[in-house]
Structure 1
Amino acid sequence: MAVYTEVSFDEARELLRQLNLGELTALRGIEGGIENTNYFVTTEQDGRPADYVLTLFERLTSEQLPFYLHLMKHLAQHGLPVPDPAANRDGDILHTVQGKPAAVVNRLRGHSELAPTPAHCAAVGATLARMHLAARDFAQHQPNLRGLPWWNQTVPVVLPHLSTSQAALIQSELAYQNHVAASSAYAALPRGPVHADLFRDNVLFETGVLTGVFDFYFAGVDSWLFDLAVCLNDWCIDVQAGTHDAARAASLLAAYAAVRPLTAAERQLLPAMLRAGALRFWISRLWDQHLPREAAILKAHDPSHFERVLRERTRHPVTL
């Protein structure tokens, strides 16, 4: 959500007109995130203001994007509180701005809860389970592009930037995850479209009620357990120490299982997938730190955070 590509007021206004979303009155770049260019957009139609988010995709291609956009629309049509991409008169939801693929979605109300309680975690768990079940009949397929094959490709690239102890950890954990992925228990895990990035800053609440889930641009088909583990690794840890918060985790897991009970294979592999989730984001943050892109607004994430989480998950496995 950095600004890599500057969009003029006139260019944004023309796109909003094509989408029949009203007359543009305000355009503001969004700080935070590292993948795409995002702007808050306000329009006026029939005397009433409306808020949207304009996204220009900096890495994802026009061939990859229909999966993400149509998944959001599919979930929105199933009653999930997710962004709903706007279509032009031809029904297209993927557009072009500054020569780059772009989309406009409704801006969800609410704010992020960066210090979540067990109640917030329960709402997240239940919503994640609903998303998994609602996406079962989604027709399109795309693998998780930041899954195991990408880890295997990227670790050798970031390895020269690591200390001896960091290199040992990342290599041993990668070997372990390849071993897990070859197991029969892993093959038995239920799968489908997953969010794969359901962090605290990608969920909105209003007066304690979950009102929005957004940023689906890491979504792909993977195990539902991996998606749950990524979620637990952010919502249910102490941010400073990376340690497990048992009360929040119990609340999130119970709420998830009340909607979609976990299988025996999922219960067996939860510790391994918690480690996998930590490894995935440690690798990607190392990648972004050591091979950065220029941006007009850019706020990078600290890779050492998920190094701490991975070490904690390895030393203190969480079992069900």
Structure 2
Amino acid sequence: MAVFTPVTLDDLIQWIPPFSLGKALAIRGISSGIENSNFFIDTERGEYVLTVFENLSFEQLPFYLELMRHLAQRGVLVPAPIANQQDQIINPLHGKPAAIVTKLEGDCQMAPAPVHCAAVGAMLAKMHLAAQDFSIRQPNLRGLPWWRETAPVVRPYLPADGQQLLRDEMAFQEAFAASDTYRQLPNGPVHADLFRNNVMFNGNQLSGFFDFYFAGCDTWLFDLAVTVNDWCIDLATGKLDIARVRAMLDAYHAVRPFSVAEQAAWQPMLRAGALRFWLSRLYDFYLPRAAEMLTPHDPGHFERILRQRVAHPAPNLY
């Protein structure tokens, strides 16, 4: 959500008429994040979010935006894409694909309590079930094949102990991905990036999930592991907060009960979730793209989380 492609109010005024949102009144860049150019926009019809996609192509984007439309129609709290008068939800802006979606109400909950974690767990399970009949299939583009490509690129930047950790964890995850247990895990469309800053709350009431642009088809357990690794930890150390973990897992399980295979896969999957974001943060930190408002994240955060998951098993799923 950094700004790589600047968009002015004059640009927006010329671009927005086919959306029937009235006149564009204001635009302001959103500085958090590092993948796309995002803006809050004010129109005569209300406030929306404009995204200019920096990496995803016109061919890839229907998966993400149609998934959001699919989920919204089934009662999952997500932003709804806005179509233009030709019912197109992906349109070029400055030569790049762009889209407008509804803006969720509330604020991100950056200091979650168990009540917030329970709400996220229940909605995540609802999302997984609601997406089962989504017709477009696309793999998680930051899954194991991407890890294989990225690990050798970032490894030289690490000290010796970090290089060894990366080698060991890649070998562990390769073996796990080839196991019978992994093949038995239920899967489908997942968010794959459900961090605290991608969820809105009004007080303790969850108002929605957003930023689906890392979504793909993967195991549901991977999605849950990524979420636990952000929502249910002490940020300074990466240690799990057991009360928050238990609240999220119990709420998820009440909506979609876990399988026996998922119980067996839980510890490896938490490590997989940590590895994925350690790799991406290493890449963004050492090989950054130019951006007008870029704030790269500390890769050491997910190295600490990975070391914690290797050394200290998490609570069981149920």
- Deviates most, 7-16 or 308-317: 7-16
What letter matches 1:10 in structure 2? D
Conserved in 1, the CA contact under 8 Å of 2:245 and 2:315?
Answer: no
Output one character per residue of 1:42-70: Cα deviation in whole Å (capped at 9) or x when no partner: 0114xxxx110110000111111110000
Q: Which residue of 2 aligns with 1:164?
A: 160
Q: Which residue of 2 aligns with 1:10?
A: 10
For 1:169-208, what aligned pairs fall within 5 Å after superposition? 169-208=165-204
Identify which of 110, 117, 121 aligns with 1:114: 110
1:250 shift after superposition: 0.2
Conserved in 2, the CA contact under 8 Å of 1:27 and 1:39?
Answer: yes
Identify which of 112, 119, 122 aligns with 1:123: 119
CA distance in 2, matches of 1:54, 1:207: 25
1:299 shift after superposition: 1.1
1:166 shift after superposition: 0.1
CA distance in 1, matches of 2:15, 2:302: 39
- Cα RMSD (Å) of the superposition? 0.7
Conserved in 2, the CA contact under 8 Å of 1:270 and 1:319?
Answer: no
Moved over 6 A (4+): none
Conserved in 1, the CA contact under 8 Å of 2:58 and 2:97?
Answer: yes
Could you say what secondary structure the match of 1:137 adopts? coil
Residue 40 of structure 2 corresponds to residue 61 of structure 1: no
Q: Which residue of 2 aligns with 1:277?
A: 273
1:121 shift after superposition: 0.2
Identify which of 203, 207, 213 aligns with 1:211: 207
1:6 shift after superposition: 1.0
CA distance in 2, matches of 1:225, 1:103: 29
Output one character per residue of 1:290-313: Cα deviation in whole Å (capped at 9) or x when no partner: 110111111111000000000000
Could you say what secondary structure the match of 1:136 adopts? coil
Q: Which residue of 1 aligns with 2:27?
A: 27
1:109 shift after superposition: 0.5
Conserved in 2, the CA contact under 8 Å of 1:267 and 1:319?
Answer: no
- Deviates most, 225-234 or 75-84: 75-84
1:79 shift after superposition: 1.1
Q: Which runs of 5+ in 2 are unaligned?
A: none
Conserved in 2, the CA contact under 8 Å of 1:109 and 1:211?
Answer: yes
Residue 281 of structure 2 corresponds to residue 288 of structure 1: no
1:88 shift after superposition: 1.0
Q: Which runs of 5+ in 1 are unaligned?
A: none
Output one character per residue of 1:131-175: Cα deviation in whole Å (capped at 9) or x when no partner: 000000000000000000000110000011000000000110011
Question: TM-score, normalized by length of structure 2?
Answer: 0.98
1:8 shift after superposition: 2.1
What letter matches 2:161 in structure 1? S
Identify which of 48, 55, 58 aligns with 1:52: 48
1:207 shift after superposition: 2.0
Q: Which residue of 2 aligns with 1:226?
A: 222
What letter matches 1:109 in structure 2? E
1:34 shift after superposition: 0.3
What letter matches 1:104 in structure 2? I
What letter matches 1:20 in structure 2? S
CA distance in 2, matches of 1:14, 1:175: 52
Count of equivalent residues: 316
1:80 shift after superposition: 1.2
Q: Which residue of 2 aligns with 1:264?
A: 260
Could you say what secondary structure the match of 2:132 adopts? helix
Q: Aligned residues: percent identity?
A: 57
Are the structure 2 counterparts of residues 269 and 319 from structure 1 closer, same or farther at C-alpha, using a change threshold of 3 Å?
A: farther
What letter matches 1:163 in structure 2? P
Q: Which residue of 1 aligns with 2:246?
A: 250
Conserved in 1, the CA contact under 8 Å of 2:242 and 2:315?
Answer: no
1:319 shift after superposition: 4.0
Q: Which residue of 2 aligns with 1:82?
A: 78
What letter matches 1:77 in structure 2? Q
What letter matches 2:176 in structure 1? V
